[in-house]
Structure 1
Amino acid sequence: MPSPDIPQSRNPPPSNRQLLILLGLFISFIVGVIWLLNLLINSLIGLIPPSVEQKLGAVIVPVYEQQAQPSPTQETLNQLLARLEKQLPPEQSKQRDYRVLYLPEDTVNALALPGDVIVVYAGFLKQVESENELMMVLGHELGHFAHRDHLRSLGRRLLVRTAIAYFVGDVGALESLAISGLATLSKSKFSQSQEQQADEFGLRLLQQTYGHVAGATDFFARMSHKRGASWDFLSSHPSPGKRVTRLQRLIKEQNYPLKERSPLPENLNQSHLISSPVEYPY
């Protein structure tokens, strides 16, 4: 007796092409959501008071404060920073408490931390040959504060990771996002556009402080010839050669004058002699 025909399903399984289309739509949806939320974050950044960044800094800065000690070098660096701060518009200095922490270590780097703190290492000062190039780097770091780059970077990082964790259903990851985001913020790289904006900001401050921009490219040009050097500055900042080219173009476009460079203050010239923290009275 012939077996009865098995009725064919009216809904055949999707083809590979259909699956790829669905996957593409799903990915596009996630990217679109992240893009819209990122746009929202950027629009809200300006409404967040500086006190929020200072609270973020309260988590990160103490680690660096333990390595720094009050010293003539740190005092001089803060005096130079104060000269730059005088050139800031009121909205960028209001409710701010900019300061420098000097770390007597051979690391060649300078970085901005949330909480209005700029960290300068002795290894960086060893490479600086004029006050002007030092002020350019300090002005660059002030630019990150002016543009609220820490909040933008933290917001984007948490946003992307939160979206991924949500869509894959990883509840544990959602709970640890804030802590891990803060832990890595001080070591993260800013985007290329953020670094370019900070360079432009530092260049303007240099012009306003000295009436010229001599020395603006010196440190970066010197770094571009240090091939093979293991410098933290190179890992946390853009290519120095490209920065020099772009800064030179900006100087020409803005018709900024170039005059004589100012020498480093004497105790900054001698900073490389400090191999360990020394206590000084406040």
Structure 2
Amino acid sequence: MSFKSPIIENKNPEPNKRQLLTIFFLFGGTLTFLIFLIFYLFNQLIYLVPLEVEEKIGNLIIEQIAPEKENSNISQQLNVLVDEIETLLPNKNNVKRNYEVIYVPENTVNALAIPGNKIVVYEGLLKELKSENELVMILGHEIGHFAHRDHLRSLGNMLLFKLIISSIIGDLDIFSSGVDLANVIVNTQYSQRQEMKADEFGLDILNKYYGHVGGAIAFFETLEKKENNSNKLSFFSSHPSPQNRIKNLQKIIEKKDYIESQPQELNILQD
């Protein structure tokens, strides 16, 4: 009599493709929701970041961007100007701070809002300006980023993104030095909405400072003409195209009935 092994029924069959896809989409959806939740909570809590923390972050960045601070006549004039602008700022939401302009004698056409109340202004930017009014507009614009906490929001979002990606690939060494932070903030691009709000803030400061907004869009018109010049790409890497910003500023000027008058000559480079 031959013996046959009983057929054991598989109680745990292999999942079919539909089940695998369902699991995949559930996992992916949950992960996506958690990532968006992290970014949302971060942006809601950004106003609670202490100024002391900002200063520590800013010092790390400045050590890389400008390891030797300039104390030239140009640097002094820039800080005198920003001190005068400070007197026009509202006493709310930590907008009225002790801002410091860091002058960097390089041909880069850019200005940056750095955590810790620091505004980096490159020599290349000053060379593109035709009036003091344009400079006040730019400084007011950068202060606008501080007022709206854009400088921390964009930096934090970029670092959070890097942290999430690094966690996935298993490399968490993204905060190893100030070089990483400096690279992030130099290459961080603000949204169109953030730039337009900062532009309006700068425009309001310009009007308070001179009593008119002459020269408000001159710098952006210069950039528009040079947008395709590869030597000027440093500015466009961290700012949107100037075309829409010019149109938006013109609308604000018309809406607020601001007066446009003759801008003042810029003598700040005569060191």
Task: Compute the TM-score of the two structures, normalised by the length of structure 1.
Answer: 0.83
Partner of residue 74, structure 1 = 75
Partner of 2:215: 215
Q: Deviations over 1:116-147 (max 9, x none)?
A: 11111221111100111111111111112122
Match in the other structure for 2:101 = 100
Distance 1:18 1:4 in 2: 32
Report the secondary structure of 1:199's partner residue. Answer: helix
The residue that corresponds to 2:47 in the other structure is: 46
Counterpart of 2:187?
188
Q: TM-score, normalised by structure 2?
A: 0.86
Where do 1:164-179 residues align within 5 Å? 164-166=165-167, 168=168, 170=170, 173-174=171-172, 176-179=173-176
Q: Over aligned residue pairs, what C-alpha RMSD do you find?
A: 2.4
**Match for residue 62 of structure 1?**
63
| Cα pair 1:150 1:185 within 8 Å, conserved | no
Is the CA contact 1:130–1:262 (under 8 Å) kept in the aligned structure 2?
yes
Whether the 8 Å CA contact 1:111–1:118 is kept in 2: the answer is yes
Structure 1 unaligned blocks of 5 or more = 272-282
Task: Answer yes or no: is 1:199 the counterpart of 2:199.
Answer: yes
**Residue number in structure 1 paired with 2:133:** 132
Q: Secondary structure at the match of 1:179?
A: coil
In the alignment, the residues of structure 1 paired with residue 236 and residue 158 of structure 2 have an alpha-carbon distance, to the nearest angstrom, of 22
Return the match for 1:257 from 256, 259, 263. 259
Q: Which has the higher contact order (CA 8 A, sep 6+)?
A: 1
Identity of aligned residues (%): 44
Q: CA deviation at 1:223?
A: 0.7
- Using the alignment, how far apart are the partners of 2:26 and 2:101 within structure 1? 49
1:216 partner letter:
A
For 2:163 and 2:67, locate their aligned partners in 1 and report how far apart those are by CA, in whole Å.
Answer: 32
CA distance in 1, matches of 2:203, 2:7: 79
Query: 8 Å contact 1:143–1:201 — kept in the other structure?
Result: yes
| Contact persistence 2:158–2:188 (CA under 8 A) | no
What is aligned with 1:277? none
Consecutive unaligned residues in structure 2, runs of 5 or more: none
The 1-side partners of 2:165 and 2:107 are apart by 39
Count of paired positions:
264
**Contact 2:187-2:237 at 8 Å conserved across structures:** no
Aligned position for 1:118: 119
- Residue 39 and residue 217 in structure 1: after superposition, are their counterparts in 2 closer, same or farther (change >3 A)? same
- How far does residue 68 in structure 1 lie from its aligned partner after superposition? 3.9
Deviations 1:58-95 (A, max 9, x none): 2111233434421111111112212221111123355x
Residues 24-43 of structure 1: pairs in structure 2 closer than 5 A: 24-43=25-44
Tell me, what secondary structure is at the counterpart of 1:186? helix
